[in-house]
Copies of this chain bind each other. A is one copy, B any other.
Amino acid sequence: LAQGWTERLASALAELHPAEVAGLLEGMPPEPRRATWELVPEDQRGEVLAYVHDEARATLIDEMQPEELVEAAEQMDDEDLAEVLDVLPADLTETVLTALEEDHRRRIEAVLSYPEGTAGRLMSTDVISVRADVTLAVVLRWLRLHLRLPPHTDALMVVGDDGRYLGKLDMGTVVTGDPDSLVADVMEPAAELARAEATESELAALFERRDLISVAVLDAEDRLLGRITIDDVVDVIREEADRRLLKSAGLEEEEDLFAPVIPSARRRGVWLGINLVTVFLAAWVIGRFEDALEKIVALAVLMPVVASMGGIAGSQTLTLTIRGLALNQIADANLRWLLLKELGVGALNGLVWAALVALVAWLWFQSTGLAMVIAVAMMLNLLAAAFSGIAVPIILHRLGIDPALSGAVILTTVTDVVGFLSFLGLASLFLL
């Protein structure tokens, strides 16, 4: 880059919000990403790093000296820093932790003691708590001593003498309530709360269901540990959706669009390998009917139609079932109804499209037998697709396997095998 251009880029970067700088860096191939990262002011790097996704972040950290990393660490929130440290090599983590102030280090170590993906890891320890036996006037006076409240303080946490969480005091109540009333009388005692071990998905569901801004995080003894705010949960919701989408194509979460060729090829190869096994299974089924294929070449021409229509219909049912499972809408009580409904949809669409396919096959190859065989095979495959669109994800779910990852592969294997088997099998029986 030319000198003048570099300066202009540097001053443009200084104007941007750290989240925007992060987005910009993620949208760059390795070389310009490295050059741009050098231009990000050192006192903003911590905040920018907090917004960059895992894989792209690793490429940025690789460029940094340990002392730069320490400086960035000092600018980060506890929960963001914990996330960064979690993926660093152990000796670098040690260097950074040792360089932090005693107090900061203790807080980080506390956050790091919870497993990734739990409330304990996501929470901020920067929380304002008040006692239940004081008046609102006292709370207001005391708040005024704070120069600034933590971001997104929609409520104060009320704790007892022993540090146990008692409830939540809405900021609106602090402001509009009678100054002489006691906190105990105006707080929400039964406010929502989260345990430190709660998973990210549980938190996301809680925030969504109850339209929350923040929630107290407690340990097993009801002691207040910290607070989780909606902005962290929004990230969780977005990442979950992202992960679901990427998984359905056999990609890893947080895959960096601009990762180099070799690691990308290796990661995606796994999925291609799994698919290779399933497609050879389908090829083996076809191979059982070499005799029929040799005699009636139209079978080879039409067989992908039967398999493909089953795959499409099955993946529609599969997608709805996976979503229903994620939303907890599927239980034993409604499973039979759902299965009958999907079989009904499969049968109805089977009839319509089988008739059309039979017509095209008849016009093309002038064979009534072939037309009838393909129609029956399509009906069978659409029913098999509806059945496995429900059965496959539910069985995977009960086995504790995420159906978003492997559901589609198993389903299309079923529809390919059933499609080829029914079409070529019926043809062997009735047309040879």
Contacts and interface: CB of A to CB of B under 8 A. Distances in A.
B257 A320 contact: yes
A84 to B, nearest CB: 18
A200 B330 CA distance: 30
Interface in A225-256: 230-231, 233-235, 237-238, 240-242, 244-246, 248-251, 255
Contact of A208 (B32, B172, B238, B341): B238
A27 B329 contact: yes
Interface string A309-344: 100110110111101100111110010011001001
Contact of A279 (B23, B149, B309): B309
A352 interface: yes
Contacts of A220: none
Interface string A195-212: 000000000000111110
A320 B330 CA distance: 30
A115 interface: no
B258 A337 contact: yes
A257 B316 contact: no
A67 B275 CA distance: 57
Contact of A144 (B175, B246, B264): B175
A344 B251 contact: no
B175 A268 contact: no
Given A246-B323, A349-B268, A282 B261 contact: no
Interface in A262-315: 262, 264-265, 268-269, 271-273, 275-276, 279-280, 282-283, 286-287, 290, 293-294, 297, 299-305, 307-309, 312-313, 315
A146 interface: yes
A interface, over-half SS: helix
Given A249-B315, A283-B302, A345-B264, A148 B172 contact: yes
Given A176-B148, A238-B237, A245-B319, A280 B27 contact: no
A154 interface: yes
A26 B344 CA distance: 20
Interface in A349-402: 349, 352-353, 356-357, 360, 364
A352 B320 contact: no
A141 to B, nearest CB: 10
B268 A316 contact: yes
Contacts of A337: 29, 258
Contacts of A269: 349, 352-353
A244 B276 CA distance: 27
Number of this chain's copies in the assembly equals 2
Given A276-B309, A327-B26, A341 B149 contact: no
B309 A268 contact: no
A252 to B, nearest CB: 11
Given A19-B208, A20-B209, A29-B337, 13 more contacts: A19-B209, A32-B334, A208-B234, A245-B323, A246-B319, A246-B323, A248-B248, A257-B320, A257-B329, A257-B338, A258-B334, A280-B305, A283-B301
Interface of A: 17, 19-20, 23, 26-29, 32, 140, 143-144, 146-149, 151-154, 171-172, 174-176, 207-211, 213, 230-231, 233-235, 237-238, 240-242, 244-246, 248-251, 255, 257-258, 260-262, 264-265, 268-269, 271-273, 275-276, 279-280, 282-283, 286-287, 290, 293-294, 297, 299-305, 307-309, 312-313, 315-316, 318-321, 323-324, 327-331, 334, 337-338, 341, 344-345, 348-349, 352-353, 356-357, 360, 364, 416
Q: What 9 A-B pairs come out closest when comparing CB atoms?
A: A241-B241, A27-B329, A300-B300, A149-B172, A261-B344, A211-B231, A249-B319, A265-B348, A29-B337
